[in-house]
Amino acid sequence: MSFRDRFYTKQTAQVILSWRIAVGIGVAVALVVGGLAWPLGIVGGLVVYAGLVAVGMPKPQARPKIDPFTVGEPWRQFVQGAQRSAARLHDTISTAREGPLRDRMDAVAQKLQHGLDETFEIARRGDEIDAAVTRLDPTALRSKLATLQQQRASIPDEQVDAAIASVEAQLATTDRLKAQSAQTASTLRLTQTRLDELVARAAEVSIGAADTDTYEHDVDDLVVELEGLRLAVEETNRP
């Protein structure tokens, strides 16, 4: 966010705060003028102000419902693999002794749950890319291109040239999408391997036999990588 954007965002927040305070004071004054005792009037104004603040607070976003059967292969297997890993991690932590280490492992599990959410979002985007390739139908496009090239060879025509350029552009688009899909799947396959490794290491960490700081750092790295991949795929899907 630029300095200008931060400035106007701050100014807007100050205006909204001032407006809420003014409304609260106005309500308090109106209640007192209407005959209510001034302490009760002040309480009424505070209640209105608090209500306006509560209404204006951002609502927490619900986690997406993870359903691997809403995506096709290979994306489904990635989501199912991440779900199995998360389940094994929770089973491992559940056997740990109550205490600070168990609490810390619970926090790590929440981070990995966020990684599972990211995996599902990546899988959904990957599935959408594959669906776009299917709609473009590269096989039909290549057949059409071959036909147009034969026409141009026999009878050169500007309209045929334009049609060929259009089909070639569509084929280039399908090639880019297919490459993005393959790269995304490859990265998800690697993150699944790393996730399995982290789950296996959790058994040592949960009993204090391995360094917790290093483990948590490795979990953070994996989640950040998944977030970056999800953002990259979302950028690909933008029109």
pLDDT digits (tens, 9 = 90+) for 183-222: 999 999 999 899 888 888 888 887 777 788 888 888 888 8
Spans of the chain, pLDDT less than 50 = 1-13, 15, 58-60, 239
- Contacts of residue 160, defined as CB under 8 A and 6 or more positions apart, other chains included, come to 148, 151, 152
Q: Give 18-83 as a DSSP string.
A: HHHHHHHHHHHHHHHHTT--HHHHHHHHHHHHHHHHHHHSPPPPPPPP--GGGS-TTHHHHHHHHH
Give the per-residue pLDDT at 108.
83
Which pLDDT value is given to residue 65?
82
Separation of alpha carbons 87 and 98, rounded Å: 19
The predicted pLDDT at position 8 comes to: 36
Spatial distance between the Cα atoms of 121 and 141, rounded to a whole number of angstroms: 30
Entry pTM: 0.66
Q: Are 101 and 206 in contact (CB under 8 A)?
A: yes
Show me where the domains of the chain are located.
3-56, 68-237
The reported pLDDT for the residue numbered 62 is 57
Give dist(CA 71, CA 134) in Å, integer.
Answer: 14
CA distance 96 to 105: 9
Give pLDDT, residue 166.
92
